[in-house]
Chains A and B, each alone.
Chain A
Amino acid sequence: DTGVSQDPRHKITKRGQNVTFRCDPISEHNRLYWYRQTLGQGPEFLTYFQNEAQLEKSRLLSDRFSAERPKGSFSTLEIQRTEQGDSAMYLCASSKPSHQETQYFGPGTRLLVL
C-alpha cells in the first residue's frame, strides 16, 4: 500500500476564487471519505463515496461544495466562491471492503483563504 495521497498539500487563494483538491485512495479501497479540520478541532465528516456513488453528505457541505468520484478511484472536492471561513485542513480517508470499520487518512490539504 502506498497510502492515501492528497494534492496539493497547501493552497492559498483569494476570497471568491474556486479551488479543487484531489484525493487518491489506497488501491482497492472502495470507500472514500472527506473531512474538514479547523485549528484546534477534530475532523468533521463532510461526505463519503462507495465506489462512484456519493452515499452521504453532511449538513456542513454547503451548495458551494461539490465532491465527485467519477470512476470509483480518485476523488475531487471543489469549493466555489471561497470564503475566509473555508480555511481549514481538508482530509481524505479510505477503507476497504473487508474492513470498512478502519479508515486510513491522507496527509491533508491545508487551505488558506485570504
Chain B
Amino acid sequence: GNSVTQMEGPVTLSEEAFLTINCTYTATGYPSLFWYVQYPGEGLQLLLKATKADDKGSNKGFEATYRKETTSFHLEKGSVQVSDSAVYFCALSEGTYKYIFGTGTRLKVLA
C-alpha cells in the first residue's frame, strides 16, 4: 500500500541555519505530495504542495521538489527562524480521498 517515510526528529538548529527534512514515499501511481506544518495545540496548515513530477512547491522560504526517480519530496529552507519551530508532516494523496501522513518531524530552532 501507499506510505510516507520521513526522518525522525527532533531536529534542533540555530537560527539562520539550513534546514532539510527528508521525506520518501511509496505509491502505485502518481500521487500529489504535501508538506503540512503543525504548531503546538493547533491543526495542520498546508505549507506547500506539488502535484506532478519535477514540480517545486514553495512557500514562506520553504521549498520541496517532487522527485519521481527517487520517490522523494524533501523539505528545505535556507535560513530558519525561531518562529519555524513546529512539527512538519509529509503527506501524499493518490486520488482516493485519503491523505497518508508521515510520522512527523519536530523542528526546534534556537535563538
Do these two chains really belong together in a complex? no
Report A's interface with B, CB cutoff 8 A: none
